[in-house]
Amino acid sequence: MATENHNLSEYDKASIPNAKDFRFGIVVSEWNDTITEGLYKGAKEALLDCGAIEDHIVRWNVPGSFELIYGCKKMQQPKIFDAIIAIGSVIQGETKHFDFVCEGVTQGIKDLNIINDTPVIFCVLTDNNIQQSIDRSGGKHGNKGTEAAVAAIKMAFLNKQ
C-alpha cells in the first residue's frame, strides 16, 4: 500500500513556494462528508500554513465525487484561481458503481488538466473500506488533503513560471 508507513501530512515548508500571491479553489463532494470534511480541513490548514490568504481560498460543494468534474470546470472558467483542488471519497461497495465513478472522476480531472490552463489537483480517496478513508483523511496515515494543498501550491507556482 502506497501510504503504509508514510504520513501524508508531513512536508518541508522551506521547499514549498510561499502561497500568499495565489488564489485557490476547492471543490468538495458532500458524499462521504465525514471523510471529505477531514480532507478539506487538511487542505485549508496546509494552504494557510504555507502563506495563503484565507480570503483567497474559495470552497464550492457538489453532491458527489462524479460532480467534482463539473464543479472544477466551472471554477476554471473565470480564470481567477491559480489552482483548484478536487476533494472526494469513493468507497468500494458490492457493485461495479465504484469502478465507474473512480474511472470517470479520474479521467474527468485528467481531461480538465489537459484542456484548461488552471491545474486541478486530484484529492479523491478511492478506498476499499471506510477505515482506509479515515486513516487517510486525518487518521494514522495523515491527511491526503494536506498533500493535495502542497501539490496545488507547487503547480500554481509552476504555472506562473
Residues marked active site are found at 97
Residue that the C-alpha cell 514549498 belongs to: 16
Distance of CA 69 to the CA centre of its chain: 12
DSSP 10: -
Helix (H) or strand (E) holding 120: strand 120-127
Region of 51 on the Ramachandran plot (φ > 0 left; ψ -120 to 50 alpha; else beta):
left
Residue 108 has, within 13 A of its CA and on its CB side, a CA count of 19
Phi–psi pair at 68, nearest 5 degrees: -60, -35
